[in-house]
Amino acid sequence: MENFIFQNPTKLIFGKGMITRLAKEIPAGRRILVTFGGGSVKRNGVYEQVREALKGFEVIEFWGIESNPKIETLRKAIQLGKENQVDFLLAVGGGSVIDGTKLIAAGLLYEGDAWDLVLKGRAKAALPLATVLTLPATGSEMNDGAVISRIETAEKYPFHSKFPVFSILDPSVTFTLPVYQIACGIADTFVHVMEQYLTTPGQSRLMDRWAEGILHTLTEIGPKILERQDDYDLMSEFMLCATMGLNGFIAMGVREDWATHMIGHELTALHGLTHGATLTIVMPGLLRTLKQKKLAKLLQYGERIWEIKEGTEQEKVELAIQKTEVFFKSLGLPTRLGDVQIGEETIREIEKRFNERQVGFGEDQDVTGTVARKILENCK
């Protein structure tokens, strides 16, 4: 196990009716910028619950943070916040709204263009923010990370700021979500865990078992949720899986990959694909490309998650990758570039971008532009 320092300061408030606690958790007298995506929170009753809970506070609303939040939109929110001298932010939505609000919170204390902060990768200061989660997927409600896009250059980069002060998770608000969004959220959570789990073998039995617990839960409940998304118990399990999948608890002392995500971000930046769908395309291709490098962990994954115990090592690995792809397909998500009509031109562009930036991803930082090309060719 490698050295690590762990701290997660976010207070998690979980369960039915917990939105009413907003007034108890936000300090009195705060001027609050509340951020939203589209209009779904008005259709599912969340908006009314939030406004009722915030009676007595001065509230400024900002609407329109899109999927894969764009700097062009977030600049408008930063301007609105500065004009109204807000001193607290509340993100009401899924991972995109929360991600965007993290940059807004930092941009409100920054004199320059907030895109500078994205390029730097981290903000030194930010206003306090909290979240009301409506779509489980990213874990952004309990971590300091975000991913921000820029339309004019078709770029998408990770960014780190402050952790939310608290996050409210009420599984019942997810019952009316589109099935495709839920499927993408399940896939995103699954791949988050895999990026932390399927790396160097033998680092931590405890981290492995925690990660495997989340993977087991997702494979068990994933298809059931798509049939019974108004099942409170199922959605509770999924919601907590998504939070635990990327809040640092399964990453202590272990190496992390993230190559699937970084390639997936490029597919989103270039084609606007939903994030979860890019991951279900890239991950099987990455595993096919790097199966020898990840052999020991793939064998462990195959045996413990998919109960693969017969055959040669190569046969077991191939079957583990096949079962992963079948699971993604069972969620109704694409697993090949051809499924979304993406071809050679995009592969060349991603290779070019990685090489120009001189980056390397993966647990050994060896997924370069050349390797990314091989991975994408194995996604055809």
What pairs with residue 150 in β-bridges? 155
Interatomic CA distance for residues 361 and 102, integer angstroms: 24
Q: How do beta strands 155-160 and 166-169 pair? A: unpaired
In single-letter form, the type of residue at position 255 comes to R
Q: What interhelical angle do 313-330 and 275-289 show, nearest 10?
A: 170
> H-type helices in 228-294, by residue range?
232-244, 259-271, 275-289
Tokens 């120009």, located at residue: 356
Q: Report pLDDT digits (tens) over 221-234.
A: 999 999 999 999 99
| Beta partners for residue 60, in sequence order | 33
> Whole-angstrom Cα distance, residue 373 to residue 87?
45
Spans in the chain with pLDDT lower than 70: none
328 backbone dihedrals φ, ψ, rounded to 5° = -60, -40
- Which residue has 């997936």 as its token pair? 264
Strands 145-150 and 155-160: antiparallel
- The whole-angstrom separation of Cα 355 and Cα 369 is 5
| Chain Cα centroid distance, residue 169 | 16
Residue partners of 124: CB distance under 8 A and separation at least 6: none
Provide the whole-model pTM. 0.95
HSE, side-chain direction, 13 A CA sphere, residue 17: 0
Give percent helix, percent strand, percent coil of the chain, each to the nearest 5: 55, 10, 35
**Beta bridge mates, 160:** 122, 145
252-to-144, 174, 196, 294 alpha-carbon distances in Å: 16, 30, 10, 20
286's tokens: 């990455």
Residue 39's pLDDT is: 84
Residues ≥6 apart with Cβ < 8 Å to 325: 284, 335
Domains in the chain (CATH in brackets) are: 11-173 (3.40.50.1970), 178-377 (1.20.1090.10)
Answer whether 65's CB lies under 8 Å from 35's CB: yes
Cβ atoms 372, 337 nearer than 8 A: no
